[in-house]
Structure 1
Amino acid sequence: MLVLSRRVGERLVIGDDIVVTVIEVRSDGVRLGIDAPRDVRVHRAEVLEALTAANAEAANADESTAAALRRLAPPAAGGTARGTTAPA
């Protein structure tokens, strides 16, 4: 891990196209500005960890959870419910 000391207004360049600028230093934290290309995803670590955990939990849903969700969804307009046949 690289550890640097920076003052307000000073920048850190990562690669050719990512610039991190120190915006403000307070007693309770540091505000950073990040300039990066749109195709570079920038996330706070705690948000990414929570999203990953939520996705893992959703992927492990049991059949009773799936059935409860199916009951919440209205039937498709003009169609029939999945797994049923229309009257002849």
Structure 2
Amino acid sequence: MLVLTRKVGESIQIGDVITLKVVAVEGDQIKLGIDAPKDVDVHRSEIYEQIIEANKQASNSKVKDFLENLKKE
């Protein structure tokens, strides 16, 4: 993991198209601005994990439904 120190107003560039900017520091919270193309999904990690889990469950249920339909035929 790369660890960088930035001050309010300073940025980090990721590749050619993603910029992270420190917008504010308030107590123990840091506010980040993220500039990324519309085709790049940006989520908080806990939300991303929920999306992954929901996709796994949906995929598993589709496979189960498919197998059940095969058994009926």
TM-score (norm 2): 0.72
Q: Count matched residues.
A: 63
> RCO (CA 8 Å, sep 6+): is it higher in 1 or 2?
2
User: Match of 1:8?
Assistant: 8
Aligned-residue offset at 1:41: 1.5
Matches within 5 A, 1:1-88: 1-61=1-61
Query: Helix, strand or coil: the match of 1:22?
Result: strand
Q: Which runs of 5+ in 2 are unaligned?
A: 66-73
Percent identical pairs in the alignment equals 51
Counterpart of 2:49 in structure 1: which amino acid?
A: E
RMSD: 1.6
The aligned residue for residue 67 of structure 1 is none
Bigger helix share: 2
